[in-house]
Structure 1
Amino acid sequence: MSLKNNKLDILGELQKRNLINILGNILDQLSPHCLRLLQFTCSLYREIVKDDPRSVRRLELSRRWLYGQPTVLPICQRPGYMVTALAAHPGDSIIFGLLGDNATVNMYKKDTLKLTARLEQSREFPASIPALVYNDQVVVTCVYESLVQGGLNHVLYIWRREDNSLASTFSPHSQLIRTVKLANNFILTASNDGTIVVTDLTNPSQPTLKHTLTGHKDYVSGLDNDASRVVSVSVDNIMKVWSIPSFKCVFSVNTETPTLKVSMSWPLAVTGGKTTLVLWNLELQFKIRELNMESLGSLSVVCMTYSADAGTSIGSRYKKTSSSSSCQQQHAGQQTKRRNPGNVYIVSGDNHGKISIWDTSRIIAGHSGVDPHRQFQIGPTASMISSLAVDEYSIITGDWAGQVLVWKFV
């Protein structure tokens, strides 16, 4: 092993000894942006990356996200209606709430984009579905519908997936429910009453209140989670991280910027309001960078793609999928299992129909700049993007022009 000036070219030595599996594991720990920079280091490194099919595939997917022309697939186009909520990750379906002369929940297969069910949430008008979520067993929707002594009735509906029947309804909050999430056997709801309610869903016909989290002092405006953690934000710009299943607050921080929305892909999270987003490392409890939407509109929705390290799919028995399974089949001769951490993108939508995308690997690698790495317009500038979902290969948008669109990058 050659050693010159007390420096050792580890990648070169691994390649020289044909230790391809070890070299591949090292490449798997690098983000696409770092892989791209590695290619420019020298001709040897360029060949090392070029000869690794997994690295080539990740670089190509990154290129398509940031520069490629996505394929746009329309699911719903209902002028005069409004898409009020949408869920598409994790699982097999795209489910969204549609408001017109009544409030309905529409369920489509993610692979075929065919309608499989339509749940009539309410015949009343006005009635609205501000949030919904699903797993392989249930669909949970929240609605404000009937006037009760001068106010609105804020109700959760629990529907069984097996036959699309209504299992139960209940009211965990006295004020507007802004967000509903699933975590294992729990429903998490965030409300204008300043609380987060945790409801046991072991028996969908008899949901049982387990915890009321009271750490926030104002409206709880956003909520996200994985199988182990919950992150919440309130309109007084406070972000909190809670553990599952204890539901104890792990830490709390003042974001110091307008904060209405939050999305998490552990250990990363993004918070935002108006035209400013902030990228956080929750594990190390520090702010990475403030980001500028560079838009005339204001933030309406934000999502992050999920990294392979984020754990089991939230609220579902479906396991997260990554490119590793297909690659393992292609390289069955390799004895050591290779893991692909994937790349994490921030995707935001505004009230003028504009989508903005940031590649977090560029930011974490130290690339300067706060503006989006990509932007594109959806429909007319007067149409607010009201709902958003993302996965490794696509963005799914819903807007107030009655459109649900899938933007596929593969």
Structure 2
Amino acid sequence: MDVLVCGAGVAGAALAYWLRHHRFTPTVVERAPGVRTGGYATGLRGEALDVLDRMALLDQVRALDLRLGGAAMTDEDALPVAIRPTDVEILRDDLAGLLYQATCGEVEYVFDDSIATLEQTDADVRVTFDRGRPRRFDLVAGADGLHSRTRSLVFGPQERFVRHLGLYTAVFGLPGRFGGRVHRVPGKAAGVLVTRDGSRARAALHFASGPLAYNRDDHGQHKHIVAERFAGQGRLVRRLLAEMWEAENLFFEANAQVEMDRWYAGRVVLVGDAGYCAAPSSGRGASQALIGAYILAGELATAGDQAEAFAAYEREMRGFVAEHQQMGREGADQFFLGPPPEEELGTTVARPHLVRLRNYAPGLAAERSSPGRAAR
């Protein structure tokens, strides 16, 4: 089967990996001119680490773990993330870069383009693009995030599915000399994260707000919004705002969740944030993306047809998504309630995992141990 994957982030690249492994032919289209950089850190644990192990990427991910060796991940009190045990903490763009490198040799990537229209038939999906020529695919997978164009074209406008959690986050790069620091006042928080080697630092500024109207592509407008919200704050925030004005790669987004009754329609399916975003406040978005991609590709490889595969994928993922979306709501609530007392930090017991990963590829452990193994 030829499968169009819309989005080259964690969900899209991971799905491309597993589709190729199962002998499908994926094509990934991404509206950005390359793999997106920037963004903050993401926590990985449990089944997500199992998926990375099956991809032979776990050692590389652990080598980039921000928490190893006393890493300067000192902003837990500032971030609107539910306090939960985390096995690995990695910058999101580092993870996306590893997934891209694991797939780009055998997967077609089309950057600086996006789908314009989708027309489904009984036999295929006819796709037009903003720049490229029209093409036909057997299936289309929307992995294009919270503001998924795939979802809008097939399921309806964003307003039907996106639930705002009352928070916005801005993330941008800093010189490595900053070091880890925290600033927190009612309704506002700022944190600085530094990589283990001190070569890279990221600032994250969070503020409480109802839904805002703004142009998603106008980073200058985003900077003005953030500067207005943090005007009059302390010395650290003033320094961060000064750096923000010079930052070339600013990530600005709402903490929001995607809630849908069904993640597929005909030959089109959603994976990752496009179908079930848990919000950055969950700390589990990348984990969901990795597991969803693994299960979706595995079900497509083992089911009788795509309808059976999509239904099985949704059954496997629903409990897991419900768990992590609840964590996202609790994480957002924590921002408003303030950090828990020091004696409670690290004592919260994580809910039991609701997903038991099937082995869709018997013998994979032997394959991945062979020298020079590439993505299949």
Pairwise TM-score range, normalised by the shorter structure: under 0.3
Name whichever structure is richer in strand by fraction: 1
TM-score, normalised to structure 1, is 0.24
TM-score, normalised to structure 2, is 0.26
Relative contact order: is structure 1 or structure 2 higher (C-alpha 8 Å, sep ≥ 6)?
Answer: 2
Q: Which has the larger radius of gyration?
A: 1
